[in-house]
Amino acid sequence: MKCLPLNKDSKQFDGPQEIIRIPQVVADRDGIPRSTNSQIEDSPLNSAGWYIYGAQDPDGIFVTQGIEPRALMMLEPDQVILGVEEGVTYIKEKNWENTEQQKGTGNTVLLDPLAEEAEAAISRWQEGDRGIVIHLFGGIGGNKKDERALFNMVSGHFAYGIAHVVRDPLSDELRFDIEYDQVYASNPDGIVSGSIKWPNYMGNLQRGWLGNRPVSDVIVKLDAVTQDYEFGDIKLSPLDELKHQLQVMMARYRTGDGDGAALVSPAESCVQDSNQALYVAIQQIEDEVNANPEIQEWLKSHPDHPQTQRFQQLSELGQALEKQLTPLGIVRSDWKENAETLVGVATSDNPIIPIIRGLTSWRTILPRRGHDEIANLLLNHGAKLWVIRTNQVGGFDPDIIPYAPTTLF
């Protein structure tokens, strides 16, 4: 294929023409190729260009192994929605609206509950910012549909991750750099629980989901969670703690705590254990603050300091999260004992125990429910949400259509 590189100075594709290869990949075990190079030049995202990842072959031709749409990673949203109610409505009703008809498209939407102008909302995202990624993918329909879908239910998959706002060296523009922390149960696709960058997990032509599944990535920016705390010489980072808790989860899922497998049940899934990591991370920061006399003295001496107010907001968020995830008013004991027991690989002689555990945190059983509930909870606490939505992006495969993940209630 012929391509034109981006000129950093002109911001146009006016560099010297190059020849690259985008090979057609082998179909997966269901007979569905993860991507196709057919008609990729006609993609609505082609005009803004693609980041391509790969290596040169013996003849010096660049062979593409992964793609990433530039338009989706730029800090230039297609739409800005202001206000809490408007944002909640978008997450609940608009985010997955007409998914099947949106095949081949991708878009970005910024939700800001506090800003009064779109430009002000965009300007709040700066180089060096970090955010929590709430990831959700849907299903594959059409002539080559995913046979694992039952009764037209598309459960999908949920994960957290971390996004950084970085300055891209190729374009000199701000963009998102996303890394997922995939708490992934044992599966027939050979996906291993662990941290993985967007170009590999989403954009990889042979293994990624960009070309054949619809995806929603919500990047959350809330200072109470995404900024570090410095109490004198003591530094605490909720985001680093979340990363640590997710690393613990991912490591245990890789081995099943020694059993060799991590399986899915009503109480044991990517949604449950990812949200366990978030819950435990916030609780851990609160416990460290409450148990440290130096920090307590600092808070008493600085009652009106912005950092004190941020910590109060973090505590309120932790309480709201607990209430949201456990509507029966019961905090699951295994969520408070993460250091001892991993939900997704714990075993019990009583088969009713996993069902009871699932019922006590039913809001996080299905990926779509967990995605929407957590996003709206954070939005109601002042978080800014940057939504990246894709619907089988790249080349055009006429045999598949995107299915939105389903939910109950």
Q: What is the DSSP string of 275-342?
A: HHHHHHHHHHHHHHHHH-HHHHHHHHH-TT-HHHHHHHHHHHHHHHHHHHH-TTS---HHHHTTTT--
Please check whether residue 338 lies inside any domain of the structure.
yes
Q: Is residue 119 part of a domain?
A: yes
What SS3 state is found at 18?
A: strand
310-331 pLDDT per residue, tens: 999 999 999 998 888 776 444 5
Ranges assigned E (strand) in 35-120: 50-56, 62-69, 79-82, 106-112
Tens of pLDDT, residue by residue over 330-386, are 455 565 555 445 544 444 455 555 545 545 545 556 899 999 999 999 999 999 999
Q: Is residue 186 part of a domain?
A: yes
The verdict on residue 37 lying in a domain is: no
pLDDT at residue 261 is higher than 90:
no
Return the structure tokens found at 177.
């750099």
Residue 295 tokens, joined: 């920090």
**SS3 label, residue 218:** strand
Give the mean model confidence (pLDDT) for residues 288-309.
95
Tell me the C-alpha distance between 37 and 154, whole Å.
Answer: 26
Residue 341: give the domain boundaries: 76-403
Q: Which two tokens stand for residue 101?
A: 């008809």
Provide the pLDDT for residue 38. Answer: 95
Using CB atoms within 10 Å of the CB of residue 152, give its burial: 0 to 12 exposed, 13 to 18 middle, 19+ buried: exposed
Specify if 15 maps to a domain. Answer: no
Least confidently predicted of 66-75, 119-128, 260-269 = 260-269
Q: Is residue 24 part of a domain?
A: no
Confirm whether 23 is domain-assigned: no
**What distance in Å separates the CA atoms of residue 213 and residue 195, rounded to the nearest whole number?**
20
- Counted domains in the chain: 1
What's the chain's Rg over C-alpha atoms?
A: 22
User: Does the residue 340 lie in any domain?
Assistant: yes
How would you class 151 by CB atoms within 10 Å of its CB: exposed for 0-12, middle for 13-18, buried for 19 or more?
A: exposed
Helix axes 367-380 and 306-325, enclosed angle (nearest 10): 150
In sequence order, the β-bridge partners of residue 28 are none
